[in-house]
Structure 1
Amino acid sequence: MTRVVCIHGVGQQHAGERQLASAWHTALADGLLRAGSSLALTPDDVRCVFFGDLFRRPGRTLAVGDPPLDASDVEAGFETELLLALWQEAARTDPAVLPPDARTLARTPQSVQRALNALSRSRFFAGVALRALVLDLKQVRAYLCDTAVRDAVQARVAAAVDERTRVVVAHSLGSVVAYEALCAHPRWPVRALVTAGSPLGIRNLVFDRLRTGVHGRPGDWPGGVEQWTNLADEGDVVALVKDLRPLFGERVRCHVVHNGARAHDATRYLNTAEAGRAVSDGCRVPG
């Protein structure tokens, strides 16, 4: 029986559901303390929906690490456009990143390499290997553009939610997964949605591609949810649009938090008072 269902984002193909659930449970417990909540969440109350294995290459003798990807592997269209959008946002928030110019935004192979070079110097992507960044782009494209991948991820969310679930907590691409799942299942007992480091506000690449059911449209309220809290760090490049209210309505409670050098880190979002308050309020809403 699960009170809080958590949904991770990209780059978790080498993790697992128990590993993530342990880290997220601890962070949420700290967030509840910061919020002064008396709510007690046991490890059994928290379940992580894991789909990183869908992006992990099958092993072979002596195989290690991510695929040896480079700039030439960034596909034209969605992947390149997302990469350039991240570059623009990184340049806006980090003085160490030179901004792209009009010529660069022509989306040539040279612009892809320049974007990767620029992002490698940013605080946000410090320590992220180039091949890992390229792989992250491909994971986002796979979920948003490949129906089979999307359906497989959604099936795992549906299997995790039960009659006791009151809160869904979602990070990064997981917030897209959560929003679509809640739109598709308006009768779920989930009463609160907490999104962190979300790309939901990126218009052409993410928002306009959202699936909300046969009669729905992007921007619809997510199912039977009564409370939606969105957390964004000013330096979080993935959360390119910090305020989701213009797209999803004034009911979304939007907060800017400060995660330090690891602006996009899920646990730093979840151990905040804002996250703790949202989870506590959601668990106390009658089902």
Structure 2
Amino acid sequence: MSIVFVHGRDQQGFDPDPLRQTWLEALARGAERAGLGLTENLISESSLPYYARILVPLEPQKRSSPLESTRDKSPAGNLEKSIDAELALELGSPVLRDSDMKQNPLDESRGPVGRILARAGDRASARLSLNAIRLVMKDVVQYLVDAKVRSDVDRLVIDAIEKARPPRIVVAHSLGSVVAYHSLAGALVNLEVERLVTLGSPLGVLAIVTELEKLLKLPLCRPPLVKAWINAADRRDIVALNPNIDRTNLFRSCLSQLPRSYQDVLITNFADVRNDTDNHHGIIHYLDDPIVAASILHGLS
């Protein structure tokens, strides 16, 4: 068995080998908590296709701007506006002011700010979570609208999966889950992935689903190359805006004419991870969760 890790955003400037080692160390902690272990062969045969150098770094002023509608009529601008509208609907307000943060309780019943705070867990985490989703979504937009970037990233990821020794496990985080899904759903290669594990994924965001439907030109289901799919999230992770991937989002076209029970054949959702990184989105506390580690190594029972 071999594992292919597909990283998320903001990895430019890192050495891919230490990055892979960091992921492996976190997975080893989770495996130990689950009463499992990582073999030397599994460690040596794991890979992390490093696509960060392909992404064009966004200008600092663009990265720090709040989520808001713009007059940009480009495909990227239109997709950003669609994502912004969905965030506003889910969170109540795309802009969170310090005065609101101080005055509102962590209570979902107390209006938009209360819902954001309750989702994040505390005020500091709310700020970090909103910043995280702003940046992740901008990178997702770049990947989805730039055909050259998308093609180069997909080729790198598929090459790594092809070289991996079967049975193959693909573990994808954040933006990486969008990359892994698009790469596998559109791949014209003869290979099999034993298990796809997505962590903190924005694949439940309807604006992203719509763009993937346009790109792939087919109903979105579990990729044919994938035998089993496990999706894990922390409900406080705002990047995983809809923590469960199901018939209300990604599978809406695939499952529209099928029984509700068929969804369980396509994916196993686990939305009860306790990710205690600052923004509840970091990869380390996804991988060191014992259920996530067990799902990677053996699958959920």
Do Structure 1 and Structure 2 share a fold, with TM-score over 0.5?
A: yes
8 A contact 1:83–1:137 mirrored in 2: no
Counterpart residue number, 1:221: 222
Counterpart residue number, 1:8: 7
8 A contact 1:7–1:169 mirrored in 2: yes
Counterpart residue number, 2:280: 263
Pairing 1:254–2:257 present: no
Q: What pairs with 1:205-220 in structure 2 (closer than 5 Å)?
A: 205-210=207-212, 216-218=218-220, 220=221
Q: What pairs with 1:120-199 in structure 2 (closer than 5 Å)?
A: 123-126=125-128, 135-161=135-161, 162-165=163-166, 166-185=168-187, 187-199=190-202
Question: Counterpart amino acid of 1:78?
Answer: L
Counterpart residue number, 1:78: 79
8 A contact 2:34–2:294 mirrored in 1: yes
8 A contact 1:13–1:56 mirrored in 2: no
Residue deviations 1:66-107 (CA, integer Å, cap 9, x gap) = 63335389654222332443455455996599728xxxxxxx
Question: Counterpart amino acid of 2:230?
Answer: T
After TM superposition, the score normalised by the length of structure 1 is: 0.74
Question: Counterpart amino acid of 1:258?
Answer: R
Counterpart residue number, 2:29: 30
Q: Distance in 2 between matches of 1:170 and 1:212?
A: 22
Question: Counterpart amino acid of 1:233?
Answer: D
Secondary structure, aligned partner of 1:263: coil
Question: Counterpart amino acid of 2:231?
Answer: N
Q: Distance in 1 between matches of 2:183 and 2:246?
A: 20
Question: Counterpart amino acid of 2:200?
Answer: G
* CA 1:67–1:238: 2 relative to 1, 3 Å: same
8 A contact 1:94–1:123 mirrored in 2: no
Q: Distance in 1 between matches of 2:61 and 2:216?
A: 40
Q: Distance in 2 between matches of 1:228 and 1:179?
A: 11
* CA 1:126–1:178: 2 relative to 1, 3 Å: same
Question: Counterpart amino acid of 1:46?
Answer: S
Distance apart, 1:170 and its partner CA: 0.3
Q: What pairs with 1:35-50 in structure 2 (closer than 5 Å)?
A: 35-40=34-39, 42-50=42-50
Secondary structure, aligned partner of 1:170: strand
Distance apart, 1:51 and its partner CA: 1.6
- Root mean square deviation of aligned Cα: 3.3
Counterpart residue number, 1:237: 238
Secondary structure, aligned partner of 1:230: strand
Task: Compare 182-191 and 149-158 and name the one that shifted more.
Answer: 182-191
